[in-house]
Amino acid sequence: MRIGELASRTAVSERSLRYYEEQGLLTADRTSGGHRTYPESAIDRVIRIQELFAAGLCSAKIEQLLPCLRDEDGGPGASATPWLTAELVAERARIDRSVNELLRTRDVLDEVIASATGGQPAVTPAAIESD
């Protein structure tokens, strides 16, 4: 598939896809005319990259991590080095701290909402969407 289709199917800009390629996160074949073409598996790769960026990992860390992830066929990837494993443990701890901070913030907001609404439960986005 061409870059425009991959961008459309993953909701990621073509500019970002080119950046991923520059950083070694994504590979593309080239047509004789120089156009990028991607295999179907690139969709899952781009989604995974987006998830890792959303978790706060930088492109250099993602580049090291990607070969260690399971392939699209479910086979194991390469083993992480002890150094990378230590780095990933630290990243996981950072994510855990962020999650805990968000949960504490949500609890504070729930208290304020309950106080403002006379003890009524907070309206969640899921409750709004189900109406």
The CATH number of the domain holding residue 9 is 1.10.1660.10
Whether 45 and 57 map to the same domain: the answer is: yes
- The domain of 12 spans 1-79
Domain count, the chain: 2
* DSSP single-letter state for residue 30: E
> Helix, strand, or coil here: 81?
coil
Whether 29 and 84 map to the same domain: the answer is: no
Whether 9 and 72 map to the same domain: the answer is: yes
Would you write out the chain's pLDDT as a tens digit for each of its 131 residues? 999 999 999 999 999 999 999 999 999 999 999 999 999 989 999 999 999 999 889 999 899 888 887 756 444 566 778 888 898 899 899 999 999 999 999 999 999 998 888 877 666 665 555 54
> Helix, strand, or coil here: 74?
coil
Whether 117 and 92 map to the same domain: the answer is: yes
Whether 108 and 74 map to the same domain: the answer is: no
Whether 59 and 89 map to the same domain: the answer is: no
Whether 125 and 69 map to the same domain: the answer is: no
Question: Which DSSP helix (H) or strand (E) runs through 101?
Answer: helix 82-116
Tokens 């706060």: give the residue: 56
Full-model pTM: 0.70
